[in-house]
Structure 1
Amino acid sequence: MQIGMTLPVMEPDVNAKILKQWAQAIDEGPFSSLCWGERIAFGNPDSLTLLGALTGWTERVPLVATVIVPQLHNSVMLAKALATGDLLSGGRLTVGIGVGGRHEDYRAAGADPKTQTMRQMAERVAVMKRVWAGEKVTESVLPVGPAPARDGGPRLLVGTTGPKTLRSAAQWADGITGISLDLDLDKQNELFDVARAAWAEAGKPKPHLATSFWFAIGDGAAPRARVAQHLLHYMNWIPREYVEAMAPTTGWAGTDEELVAVLRGFAAIGTSELHLIPTSTDIGQLRRVADLVGEISA
């Protein structure tokens, strides 16, 4: 199982210096990927602008935009931006495609919330794939470029936790990416089984099976309090009392040894890659995980 690290893009104190420091530390290894997510009506940096910066800040590590919502973008311009990121990174880009979970992001981007469907998502993916294949999507003199570094464009994963979306995405996605809120391995494996079956039925190679969870390492009650504080900030569209009720069982908090045990549990169910999501900008958290990755690989 590979282990990737997410940038702390959703933290309220994040800035350019912190992002660059984290990106370069992740690039040094031993992580399998550098990840970040998308929101619009929030204080996080724009995903596509950040992609451009990451292509210059890193040299080795694969770049994973864990969730891009194509309905929030012009399909041709999104295809062009992602192809540019793939080109500049030397083919290191993977993109998670999802419908999103917040109408406020649709409204902020001037998008119609009625397009928040799997069909609308797939239609936009089809346009992007045509652009990456060098087809003309309008009566232009030349097709929209640049050509991505990877033939056919960046690797695409479907960002979801639902089986229905998985089955519909098997035709165009190379795998899945999602999040495990309660770290229920049986439930996660059931979703992986849906993906395995859907990809087999579509006559495609075995899917890349990725998931993620929030984490905080340390002793005592402090790590769990850190996760709860992060959730209250990030899940600001949900009533506070609901977030407070779910916080004790959402994400992971504990010691180094306990984290190793959890990671081995995900490896045992056939997880291809686990994307860890920090709950602070403390780079010490990243470095502690880096020291543990060798134990998982051994």
Structure 2
Amino acid sequence: MDRYAVIGQPVAHSKSPAIHARFARQTGQTLAYEAIEVAPERLAEHLAELHAKGYAGLNVTLPHKIAVMALCEAVSERAQRAGAVNTLIRTDTGWRGDNTDGEGFIRDLQRLGIAVAGRRVLVLGAGGAARGILEPLLAQRPAELVVSNRNPWKPEALAEDFKALGTVVPRTHLSLKGDRFDLIVNATSAGHQGRMIALPGQLLATGGDAYDLSYGAAFTPFREWAQSQGAARIADGLGMLVEQAAAAFALWRGQRPQTAPVIEALR
């Protein structure tokens, strides 16, 4: 039986084992999937151990998504641009790294019927989560893609890094005052501290949509803010979680499972 796992710290709360168990049943495949706690200082050692034990693939979650890149024998172009790896595929001699977060994000937007093409899009935050979704967002050809942060340095760096793929407009949160956007994506971690970042006034255009990469309790502050903005649709990142897992499953098993019934079950 092929063995898979998600590695991280902490990882006991991960929904990945339940998600992949449903994928396996749905596609009629037999596999084992578990959550493995891995301390940062033992990451290299654990990867070698799991390879020696014959694990066929791994999902990677916090805090290892960046550090694991240096331990891969090859890394996909999209993972290199994202600056992070969330999926490992076994090779004869090591691990190949990929990143399915951006693909999962766009597929969830499509599932929800939230358009990007021709719309003004604002991404809040300029850290790793934002970096992971910029390439697929640009590929959808928005009318404008703005990335904002508390200070200008990170958005400016992102604009430079992604300029070959399209135009990213760097802004500070404060400088957004008076602007209106058709889609606002929260890629900050503020919700995990139970708060919403400070933003100036009305930012969402009439009929605009709001999407948070977080889910669960961390989604609440952004949801309440989006409601106050009069958002037409407000979505959390649970669908993205399932969609990126489906993309990883397809890389491993050569078959993409249906995500809608799994998202519904998790709800």
Same fold (TM over 0.5): no
Query: What TM-score comes out, normalization by structure 1 length?
Result: 0.31
Structure having the higher strand fraction is: 2
Higher relative contact order (CA 8 A, sep 6+): 1
- Output the TM-score relative to the length of structure 2: 0.34
Which structure has greater helix proportion? 1
